[in-house]
């Protein structure tokens, strides 16, 4: 037990031990609903490391766990040698590099086999709200200010910035319905116009079919 603790608290195992604590804490937060395991997927491109195709949080977690176990085993073996000084430091650095390399290789193999269980899904985009009806949540909507609530396809709602091109033609006030018809990338807001559900023709209806009268019969 003492040998295990000594190896855990020595370089390089202690580095991965600290990372492993962070990983465990993160997944505990995910378990209780305080964090989202997809939170970092949009910010990292794991394909550059050859481990893309699964959530980044999963890949990093497995890599940290494998690297910790490998570095721990290497540290135990290192402590059993008689190496000291510069030689010991060089061997410790070698254990660190080997742990990282083995962890990366293991994750690549696992990703190759389990990638099919994580189908590619495009990240959510603000443009998904285009064409949707929103509800104004500010007192009014002008050409430089306004907010509205809009529902996504999955039922969740979001507050977005909206602007009206000609606010004096048709005023949008709190509780009014509007149609998001364009998105301004520079200003990060939607252009909105008043929406009247009574004027919505709805989906096109199929044309009625006429039966041809049989010979000898009048229609």
CB 159 within 8 A of CB 151: no
**Residue pLDDT, tens place only, 136-162:** 999 989 888 899 999 988 788 889 999
CB 21 within 8 A of CB 13: no
At residue 127, the pLDDT reads: 81
The two structure tokens encoding residue 103? 């962890």
**Domain ranges for the chain:** 2-117, 126-196
Buried b (16+ CB within 10 A) or exposed e, 97-134: eebbebbbebbeebbeeeeeeeeeeeeeebeebeebbb
The two structure tokens encoding residue 5? 């603790």
At residue 200, the pLDDT reads: 54
Q: What's the number of CA atoms in the CB half-sphere (13 Å) around residue 30?
A: 14
At residue 156, the pLDDT reads: 81
At residue 60, the pLDDT reads: 86
At residue 102, the pLDDT reads: 93
Burial (CB < 10 A; 0-12, 13-18, 19+), residue 34, is exposed
CATH no. for 126-196:
2.40.50.140
At residue 46, the pLDDT reads: 47
Q: Where are the beta strands (DSSP E) in the chain?
A: 133-136, 147-151, 157-163, 177-184, 189-194
At residue 183, the pLDDT reads: 93
End-to-end CA distance of the chain: 98
At residue 172, the pLDDT reads: 87
Low-confidence ranges of the chain (pLDDT < 50): 42-46, 48, 201, 203-204, 219
At residue 195, the pLDDT reads: 86
């Amino acid at each position: 037990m003492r040998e295990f603790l000594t190896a855990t608290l020595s370089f390089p195992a202690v580095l991965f031990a600290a990372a492993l604590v962070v990983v465990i804490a993160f997944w505990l937060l995910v378990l209780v609903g305080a964090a989202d395991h997809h939170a970092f997927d949009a910010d990292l491109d794991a394909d550059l490391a050859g481990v893309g195709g699964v959530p980044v949080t999963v890949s990093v977690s497995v890599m940290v766990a494998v690297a910790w176990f490998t570095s721990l085993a290497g540290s135990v073996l290192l402590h059993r040698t008689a190496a000291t000084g510069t030689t010991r430091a060089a061997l410790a650095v070698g254990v660190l590099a080997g742990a990282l390399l083995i962890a990366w290789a293991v994750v690549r193999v696992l990703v190759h086999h389990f990638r099919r269980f994580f189908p590619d899904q495009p990240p959510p985009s603000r443009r998904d709200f285009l064409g949707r009806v929103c509800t104004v949540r500010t007192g009014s909507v002008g050409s430089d200010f306004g907010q509205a609530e809009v529902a996504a396809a999955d039922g969740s709602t979001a507050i977005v910035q909206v602007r009206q091109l000609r606010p004096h033609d048709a005023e949008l006030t709190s509780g009014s319905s509007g149609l998001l018809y364009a998105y301004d990338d520079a200003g990060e807001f939607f252009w909105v116009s008043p929406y009247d559900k009574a004027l919505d023709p709805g989906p096109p209806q199929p044309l009625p079919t006429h039966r041809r009268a049989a010979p000898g019969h009048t229609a």
